[in-house]
């Protein structure tokens, strides 16, 4: 099963993508995580991506597409994957479609996790991330067992630069201009499904599993 998660930054699509990955046994592929991993390791790709990420801007399509196609060509993606944070522009979606079509395959679902901007801004300030393993938590909604510490790997949790208020507003702006057109794009392909992202995390997940099936 190949799934794309859509929704504004902070809509909760990363959390849902991880839950889908766990339930259906497919990898959770997040371009944001791949970039952050590269920033952490000080790679050339990381240094290039950081320039854009710190401003809440998108990393150029050419670079992003290359890392995504490399990732989904790996063995563990053979039986499917859930994409989180990709595509974010129409050209990215077109490249992905073309690559998948060449393999005689298709995307099964694009799931839009819908949340109004006001809720997003409130949510983001509570978000905490683990730079070590990529897990995300929320001080109110998904608190870690021990404050400030990652449940998964025990490292310190932080408020990411790109979750800070000014950057969040910028990212929402970018989302509306560049990513929202994907809603029409996947509606046109008849694979768009919308879930109410303001609902409780488990209710959102139930709505998603009703779409995907057992
Ligand atoms: P995320 O964790 O998905 O919100 O991504 C964090 C940041 O990484 C974004 O604000 C962008 O700067 C960059 N990024 C992640 N995915 C993409 C993408 N598909 N296209 C361009 N930039 C991306």
pLDDT value, residue 85: 96
CA gap 145, 93 in Å, rounded: 38
Whether 7 is in the pocket of ligand 1, judged by its Cβ within 6 Å, is: no
In 3D space, the residue among 129, 170, 122 whose CA is nearest the CA of residue 152 turns out to be 129
Torsion of CA 199, 200, 205, 211, to 10 degrees: -30
Residue 39, SS3? Answer: helix
Taking CA atoms, 206 is separated from 24, 25, 43, in Å, by 13, 17, 39
pLDDT value, residue 161: 82
pLDDT value, residue 83: 98
In 3D space, the residue among 168, 21, 6, 16 whose CA is nearest the CA of residue 87 turns out to be 6
pLDDT value, residue 164: 84
Whether 85 is in the pocket of ligand 1, judged by its Cβ within 6 Å, is: yes
Minimum-distance ligand 1 atom for the alpha carbon of 60: 21
pTM assigned to the model: 0.86
Give me ligand 1 centre to Cα 60, in Å: 10
Beta-bridge partner residues of 192: 110
Minimum-distance ligand 1 atom for the alpha carbon of 35: 8
- The answer to whether residues 46 and 53 touch, using CB atoms and an 8 Å cutoff, is no
Beta strands across the sheet bearing 2-6: 28-30, 81-84, 2-6, 109-114, 192-196
pLDDT value, residue 101: 93
pLDDT tens digits in sequence order for the chain, 214 residues long: 999 999 998 899 999 999 999 999 999 999 999 999 999 999 999 999 999 998 888 999 999 999 999 999 999 999 999 999 999 999 999 999 999 999 899 999 999 999 999 899 888 888 899 989 989 899 888 999 999 999 999 999 999 887 888 888 888 999 999 999 999 999 999 999 999 999 999 999 999 999 999 7
Minimum-distance ligand 1 atom for the alpha carbon of 57: 12
pLDDT value, residue 187: 98
What region, left, alpha or beta, does residue 121 occupy, with left being phi > 0 and alpha being psi -120 to 50 degrees?
A: alpha
pLDDT value, residue 124: 86
- Residues labelled as active-site residues: 13, 88, 127, 160, 171
Residue 155, SS3? Answer: coil
pLDDT value, residue 33: 94
pLDDT value, residue 214: 74
Residue 206, SS3? Answer: helix
């Amino acid at each position: 099963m190949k799934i794309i998660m859509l929704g504004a930054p902070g809509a909760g699509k990363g959390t849902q993508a991880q839950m889908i990955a766990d339930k259906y046994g497919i990898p959770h592929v997040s371009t944001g995580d791949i970039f952050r991993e590269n920033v952490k390791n000080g790679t050339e790709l990381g240094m290039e991506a950081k320039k854009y990420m710190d401003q809440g801007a998108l990393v150029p399509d050419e670079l992003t597409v290359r890392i995504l196609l490399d990732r989904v060509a790996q063995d563990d993606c053979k039986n499917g994957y859930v994409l989180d944070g990709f595509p974010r522009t129409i050209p990215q979606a077109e490249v992905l479609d073309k690559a998948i079509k060449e393999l005689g395959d298709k995307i099964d679902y694009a799931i839009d996790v819908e949340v109004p901007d006001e809720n997003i801004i409130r949510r983001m300030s509570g978000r905490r991330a683990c730079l070590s393993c990529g897990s995300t938590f929320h001080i109110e909604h998904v608190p870690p067992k021990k404050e400030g510490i990652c449940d998964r790997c025990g490292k310190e949790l932080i408020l990411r630069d790109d979750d800070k208020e000014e950057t969040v507003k910028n990212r929402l702006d970018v989302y509306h201009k560049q990513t929202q057109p994907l809603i029409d794009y996947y509606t046109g392909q008849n694979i768009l499904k919308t879930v109410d992202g303001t609902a409780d995390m488990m209710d959102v997940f139930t709505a998603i599993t009703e779409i995907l099936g057992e």
